[in-house]
């Protein structure tokens, strides 16, 4: 399966945060997230391990209470069930992978961009 690039079909999930699920497999789910300067991702946790890569921008991540300023090219891994939050310092784009796939993110799948489903 392949997901072709598209600037469409992002869904706002919080003020200043838009998401699109690119692919869903048996063991992973990949999302692209557009984050606006000054947006806040509140403290939360989930049963999926989360691995991320910051394509552009900068933000402050708090993982289990530990502060990390990340900029373009930085990456992170958040274990399952660990509380985390983010403060967006400038317009940013992140790529994140969840394992196992987050069921609540399946609804953001950009099915218009998928090919190779036969």
Q: What's the rounded mean pLDDT across residues 68-89? A: 98
**What DSSP string describes 57-89?**
EEEEEEETTEEEEEETT-EEEE-TT--EEEEEE
- How many whole angstroms separate alpha carbon 110 and alpha carbon 6? 9
Tokens matching residue 88: 């967006």
> What pLDDT, on a 0 to 100 scale, did the predictor assign at position 39?
98
Q: Burial code of 41-60, b = ≥16 C-beta within 10 A, e = fewer?
A: beeeebebbbbbebeebbbe
Find the mean pLDDT for residues 17-46. Answer: 97
Sole residue written with tokens 């989360």 = 50
In the prediction, which pLDDT does 69 show?
Answer: 98
Q: What CATH number does the domain located at 21-109 have? A: 2.60.120.10
Total-model pTM: 0.92
């Amino acid at each position: 399966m392949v997901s072709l690039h598209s600037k469409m079909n992002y869904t706002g999930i919080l003020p200043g945060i838009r998401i699109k699920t690119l692919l869903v497999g048996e063991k992973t789910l990949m999302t692209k997230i557009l984050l606006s300067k000054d947006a806040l991702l509140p403290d939360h946790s989930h049963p999926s391990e989360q691995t991320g890569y910051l394509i552009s921008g900068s933000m402050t991540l708090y993982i289990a209470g530990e502060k990390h300023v990340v900029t373009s090219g930085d990456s992170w891994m958040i274990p399952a069930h660990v509380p985390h939050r983010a403060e967006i310092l400038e317009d940013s784009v992140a790529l994140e992978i969840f394992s196992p796939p987050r069921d609540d993110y399946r609804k953001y799948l950009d099915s218009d961009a998928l090919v190779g489903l036969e």
